[in-house]
Structure 1
Amino acid sequence: MKTKKSAYTKKEIEGQPKLWQLVYNLILAEEQRIKDFLNPLFEQKDLEIILTGAGSSAFVGEAAQGLVQKNTGCLARAIATTDLVTHPENFFPDNNKPVLLVSFARSGNSPESVEAVNLANKFCSNIQHLIITCNENGELYKYTEANTETALAVLLPEEANDKSLAMTGSFTSMLLSVLLVCNKNKAGDLKSEVNKIIEQGKLTLDSYESLKEITHLDFDRVVFLGSGPMLGIARECHLKLQELTDGKVVCKHDSFLGFRHGPRAVTNEKTLVVYLFSPSNHVYRYERDLAISIGEDPRNIWSLSVGHKEDSAINSNLNLDLDFEKDQELNIVPATIIGQVLGYYKSLQLGLDPDNPSVSGAISRVVKGVTIYDYPENTKI
């Protein structure tokens, strides 16, 4: 479908399965260079990995955190640059503890992302940088070129550098990249799983019309639920739908278990709940219980189920079976498309331009209006 209003967004959403193949090919081709830099770090005692970025780039770290920690055996924390810049003393270790700062950046020019690198160098005496970016002209990429002993860049294919406001292919390609490189297995050993997510991505895109129908429901708030790594995807999906609709649809995210502890109060007759189910049967049992409870709500709350075979007890308006496999870790990558597609079609339905949905100009492709202030030299570290 072509529309005068959107030159890039739909194309960038649909191009993701092909893009993931390009990303995988890139990691395979550069694997030795990447492992020569990362493997000695992973072997250091007490290495701490900090995953950082701003906005959607921060959510890459949130989604990847648990899997990076599991697959490297190193402590991993997701901390947004927007937190690091204001309170570096709360997050950076003040001793000789080794730190790997992994920065995610579409443009590499966000003021907070550049300052987070500067602050890391100031606070940490044993610091290395991994920059995963989509822009070779960005400040972060240029930093790695000038600091080859302590910094390495993974420059993603040009197709990952989204032209539209909303991050789509850039988000999923950065997420896939970090999961591939922060893994003690060789990238070649993950070929079948990469092929699997490519097929799952295509399967999701084949459901365009069904997802489009969902957006015609009369909802004005959406809740995305996920568990573990999928919680970070729920947060990205909530932002995607909210920014593509210019805030006309208010969104939230939570874990399935966490949603019971108060946040469920947000649901009403105009709420759509999106279940991003886990491939783990053990986790799914907890998730299913909540979904059944919401399905029994007398207010007839709308819901969309993603991941498993249709379950009549859940009573969703739409079920997308993505054939998630029990031990599949990369499934969080294709699951991200759900929020993108819902956001795209709801944006069009509301008469907005998905490429530039912010009518007031309050949000932009690269954040504007941020002034970086020098960190006080006399502050106790």
Structure 2
Amino acid sequence: MKYLGIESSDLVKLGGIHTAREICQQPELWRRAWEDVNQQEPALLKFMDEALANTRRIILAGAGTSAFIGLSLRGVFQRATGLPTDSVATTDIVSHPKDYLHPDIPTLLISFARSGNSPESVASIALADEICKTCYHLIITCNPDGKLAHYSSKSRHYIFNLPPEANDQSLAMTSSYSTMLLVGLLIAKVRQLKSLAPDVDTLIQYGRKLIELYAGDFREIAQKNFNRAVFLGSGPFFGTATESHLKLQEFTDGKVICKNDSYLGFRHGPKAVVDESTLVVYLLTNNTYALHYEKDLIEAMKKGRPPLLEIGISESAIKDLTLQHAFQLSENGKKIEEELLTVCYILPAQLLGFYKSIALGLMPDAPSATGAITRVVEGVNIYSLT
């Protein structure tokens, strides 16, 4: 059997069988996650109604890759609930809890975690219980056996366990990230769940297209001699750009140094990083208003040092935009909700990272040659507030 165009037996030798399988399984996992959310809809509605009626803010939290989910979901949660919503990494909450948690501000803390065993994940929930007089917890995790899934909180809480396959075995999170992101998005819109069915079907089609039709293109791009990469995304795609930069950097063990930014933010200094060894990836919105700013930045890239290669990821073809590689997902002009695109827009970085890891002689399942990074962070001591 082949995954990403490579025989399973060869993937085992290359140390990439888990990663390849976990990238490929994502569209099917999205379908199962959609079904699970639908099955739990009554219980989720009951919990969310109570939580939103008794809280005044929402915090979206996670460590590392799991933290970036909140960057993509902050806007949709704030619009859907009418509550101020912040994306705050658990690593920030743990070191400076009183900067984010207040006794007199009732809070809904939504936690994302693959293993649920990262020290900061459990500590941030405990700190919220300790500091906030009123706190609700929604825990979204890929590991039903993890500490988060079994956390005994004095506060009202709801635990959503993803299908077991989402608990990636590879060091770098792939299907765990995208599936938790989708679940979070669906819960934000749980009152409109049924109306999202056609868009979820289209999302799954887009994911399959990226994997089945475009994987070979990303394999060729990974062979090119770039040692820097920039991922640009605005609004909900800023989270995707942030995760994309980490993914390629993790898979290449830091041999490709990566950066992320928004389109407007990139003009204010960070654009200086671009040189002849830089790959630039544009994550393009289907929001007509925001697209004006994205196209302007791409035009401005003609001034200064040219990058090695520019890639565009978009739902549909964009008028008056010419790039060396343009990957379009829609074949009939169909348009799905902007936030849903963040779920599949992470696939290009995963594919680039996987193929670049192999090209550099690394093992995608465990690319850190020195063990500097591990699947579950180790060595973090948690201290008492008092």
Q: Give the TM-score of the pair, scaled to structure 2.
A: 0.93
Q: Which residue of 1 aligns with 2:349?
A: 339
Residues 1:325 and 2:312 aligned together: no
Q: Which residue of 2 aligns with 1:182?
A: 188
Give the counterpart of 1:85 among 91, 94, 98: 94
Q: Which residue of 1 aligns with 2:261?
A: 254
How is 1:1-381 mapped onto 2 (pairs within 5 angstroms)?
Answer: 1-2=6-7, 3=11, 4-5=13-14, 6-44=16-54, 47-95=56-104, 97-143=105-151, 146-147=152-153, 150-205=156-211, 206-295=213-302, 297=304, 299=306, 301-310=308-317, 314-323=321-330, 325=335, 327-375=337-385, 377=386
Q: Is the 8 A contact 2:73 2:184 kept in 1?
A: yes
Query: In 2, distance between residues paired with 1:58 and 1:72?
Result: 20
Deviation at 1:285, TM superposition (A): 1.1
SS in 2 for 1:109: coil
Counterpart residue identity of residue 83, structure 2: C
SS in 1 for 2:72: helix
Instruction: Could you tell me which runs of 5 or more consecutive residues in structure 2 were left unpaired when the two chains were aligned.
Output: 1-5
Moved more, 103-112 or 212-221: 212-221
Moved more, 203-212 or 325-334: 325-334
Q: Over residues 340-380 of structure 1, what are the superposed CA-to-partner deviations in whole Å (9 max), with x where a residue is unaligned?
A: 011000000000000000000000000011111111x2xxx
Query: In 1, distance between residues paired with 2:252 and 2:258?
Result: 10
Q: Is the 8 A contact 1:222 1:250 kept in 2?
A: yes
Q: Is the 8 A contact 1:238 1:252 kept in 2?
A: yes
Q: Over residues 39-75 of structure 1, what are the superposed CA-to-partner deviations in whole Å (9 max), with x where a residue is unaligned?
A: 122234x621100010000001111111111112111
Query: In 2, distance between residues paired with 1:299 and 1:190?
Result: 41
Q: Is the 8 A contact 1:223 1:273 kept in 2?
A: yes
Query: In 2, distance between residues paired with 1:298 and 1:136?
Result: 49
Counterpart residue identity of residue 86, structure 1: S
Q: Is the 8 A contact 1:292 1:315 kept in 2?
A: no
Distance 1:309 1:30, change over 3 A: closer
SS in 2 for 1:320: strand
Query: In 2, distance between residues paired with 1:69 and 1:350?
Result: 42
Query: In 1, distance between residues paired with 2:268 and 2:17?
Result: 42
Counterpart residue identity of residue 216, structure 1: Q
Query: In 2, distance between residues paired with 1:148 and 1:37?
Result: 15
Deviation at 1:299, TM superposition (A): 3.1
Q: Is the 8 A contact 1:226 1:275 kept in 2?
A: yes
Q: Is the 8 A contact 1:99 1:127 kept in 2?
A: yes
Distance 1:151 1:309, change over 3 A: closer
Deviation at 1:300, TM superposition (A): 5.0
Query: In 1, distance between residues paired with 2:254 and 2:153?
Result: 40
SS in 2 for 1:274: strand
Q: Is the 8 A contact 1:242 1:248 kept in 2?
A: yes
Query: In 1, distance between residues paired with 2:302 and 2:20?
Result: 32
Task: State the identity as a percent.
Answer: 42
Deviation at 1:295, TM superposition (A): 4.1
Q: Is the 8 A contact 1:295 1:316 kept in 2?
A: no
Q: Give the TM-score of the pair, scaled to structure 1.
A: 0.94
Query: In 1, distance between residues paired with 2:336 and 2:156?
Result: 38
Query: In 2, distance between residues paired with 1:42 and 1:311?
Result: 39
Moved more, 339-348 or 319-328: 319-328
Deviation at 1:186, TM superposition (A): 3.4
SS in 1 for 2:95: coil
Q: Over residues 272-313 of structure 1, what are the superposed CA-to-partner deviations in whole Å (9 max), with x where a residue is unaligned?
A: 100000111111111011112214556354110000545585
Deviation at 1:315, TM superposition (A): 3.5
Query: In 2, distance between residues paired with 1:238 and 1:127?
Result: 33
Report the count of equivalent residues.
372
Deviation at 1:94, TM superposition (A): 2.6
Deviation at 1:217, TM superposition (A): 1.5
Q: Is the 8 A contact 2:41 2:190 kept in 1?
A: no
Query: In 2, distance between residues paired with 1:212 and 1:309?
Result: 22
Distance 1:158 1:327, change over 3 A: closer
Q: Is the 8 A contact 1:121 1:127 kept in 2?
A: yes
